A and B are shown apart, each in its own frame.
Chain A
Amino acid sequence: MSTHNSYYIPNKATWPIVGTVGLFCLLAGFANYLNGSAIGVTWMILGLGVFVIMLAGWFTLQAIESESGMYNTQVGISYRMGMMWFIFSEIMFFAVFFGTLWYTRNLSVPWLGGEGTNAATREFLWPTFDAIWPTNGPAHLGGKIVDGKSTGEFETMHAWGIPFLNTLILLTSGVTCTWAHHGLLAKNRDQLIKGLIATVVLGFLFVSFQAFEYHEAYTEMGLTLGSGIYGSTFFMLTGFHGLHVCIGAIILSVVLFRSWKGHFQPENHFAFEAAAWYWHFVDVVWLGLFIFVYIM
Chain B
Amino acid sequence: MSAVVAEHDHDHHDHGPAGGIKRWIVTTNHKDIGTLYLVFALAMFFVGGAMAMVIRAELFEPGMQFVQPQFFNSMTTMHALVMVFGAVMPAFVGLANWMIPMMIGAPDMALPRLNNMSFWMLVAGISLLASTLVMEGGAPASGWTLYPPLVLQTGKALPFAIFSVHLLGISSIMGAINIIATVFNMRAPAMTLMKMPLFVWTWLITAFLLIAIMPVFAGAVTMLLTDKFFETSFFDAAGGGDPVLYQHIFWFFGHPEVYVMILPTFGVASTIIPVFARKPLFGYSSMVYATASIAFLSFIVWAHHMFLVGMPMAGELYFMYATMLIAIPTGVKVFNWTATMWKGSLTFETPMLFSIAFVVLFTMGGFTGLMMAIAPADFQYHDTYFIVAHFHYTLVPASIFILMAAGYFWLPKWTGHMYNEKIGKLHFWLSAVSVNILFFPQHFLGLAGMPRRIPDYAVQFADWNMISSIGGFIFGASQLLFLYIVVDTIKGGTGEKVTDEVWEDASKHGLEWTLPSPPPYHTFTTPPTAIPTEHF
Interface of A toward B, CB cutoff 8 Å: 1-2, 4-17, 19-21, 23-24, 27-28, 30-31, 34-35, 58, 70, 74, 77-79, 81-82, 85-86, 88-90, 92-93, 95-97, 99-100, 103-104, 107-109, 111-112, 116-117, 125-126, 135-139, 141-142, 224-226, 228-233, 235-236
Contact = CB atoms under 8 A, between A and B. Distances in A.
Contacts of A34: 159, 225, 229
Nearest to A231: B232
B121 A82 contact: no
For B156, B177, B186, the residue with the greatest tally of chain A CB atoms inside 10 Å of its CB is B177
B185 A74 contact: yes
Interface stretch (B107-115, B323-331, B335-343, B362-370): B107-115
A100 B215 contact: no
A99 B186 CA distance: 36
A92 B249 CA distance: 12
A27 to B, nearest CB: 4
A136 B240 contact: yes
A218 B97 CA distance: 50
A107 B159 CA distance: 29
A23 B230 CA distance: 21
Interface stretch (B409-417, B472-480, B495-503, B519-527): B519-527
Contacts of A224: 231
Contacts of B117: 13, 16-17, 19-20
B239 A35 contact: no
A4 B189 contact: yes
11 contacts: A1-B527, A5-B526, A13-B116, A20-B124, A89-B173, A92-B215, A108-B241, A112-B237, A137-B240, A137-B241, A236-B226
Interface of B: 4-11, 14-15, 18, 25-28, 107-108, 110-114, 116-117, 120-121, 123-124, 127-128, 131, 156, 159-160, 162-163, 166-167, 170, 173, 176-178, 180-182, 184-189, 211-216, 218-220, 223, 225-226, 229-234, 236-242, 244-245, 248-249, 312, 522, 525-527
Contacts of A135: 240
- 10 closest Cβ pairs, A-B complex: A96-B219, A137-B240, A16-B117, A226-B231, A229-B240, A108-B242, A137-B239, A31-B159, A232-B232, A139-B238
Contact of B185 (A77, A90, A109, A235): A77
B186 to A, nearest CB: 7
B405 to A, nearest CB: 30
A225 B226 contact: yes
A153 B7 CA distance: 68
B111 A78 contact: yes
Contacts of A232: 226, 232-234, 239, 241
Contacts of A107: 242
A11 B14 contact: yes
Given A5-B4, A112-B240, A232-B226, A11 B213 contact: no
Given A24-B124, A78-B181, A96-B249, A13 B113 contact: yes
Nearest to B182: A78
Given A1-B187, A112-B237, A11 B232 contact: no
Given A5-B526, A7-B107, A10-B28, 5 more contacts: A1-B527, A9-B28, A89-B214, A90-B215, A108-B240
Nearest to B137: A35
A229 B127 contact: no
Contacts of B111: 78-79, 82
Contacts of B15: 11
A228 B27 CA distance: 49
Contacts of B229: 34
Contacts of A230: 240
A82 B176 CA distance: 10
A166 to B, nearest CB: 23
A23 B189 contact: no
Contacts of B170: 23
A142 B231 CA distance: 9
Contacts of B241: 104, 108, 137, 228-229, 232
A218 to B, nearest CB: 12
Given A112-B237, A232-B241, A11 B527 contact: no
A222 to B, nearest CB: 13
Contact of B26 (A17, A137, A142): A17
Contacts of B216: 92-93, 95-96
Given A96-B220, A232-B226, A10 B113 contact: yes
A27 B120 CA distance: 15
A264 B288 CA distance: 41
Given A28-B163, A93-B215, A137 B124 contact: no
Contact of A100 (B27, B181, B230, B234): B234
A81 B26 contact: no
B167 to A, nearest CB: 7
Contacts of A235: 232
A24 B127 contact: yes
For B111, B114, B214, B241, the residue with the greatest tally of chain A CB atoms inside 10 Å of its CB is B241
B106 to A, nearest CB: 8
Nearest to B178: A82
Contact of A88 (B5, B211, B230): B211
Nearest to A36: B156
Contact of B114 (A82, A96, A104, A229): A82
Contacts of B25: 17
A137 B238 CA distance: 6
A236 to B, nearest CB: 7
Contacts of A92: 211-213, 215-216
Contacts of B182: 78
A170 to B, nearest CB: 22
Contact of A16 (B120, B213, B220): B120
Contact of A138 (B162, B181, B214, B237): B237
Contacts of A108: 240-242, 244-245
A24 B241 CA distance: 31
Contacts of A74: 185
B112 A9 contact: yes
B6 A11 contact: yes
Contacts of B188: 1, 4
For A20, A108, A139, A141, the residue with the greatest tally of chain B CB atoms inside 10 Å of its CB is A20
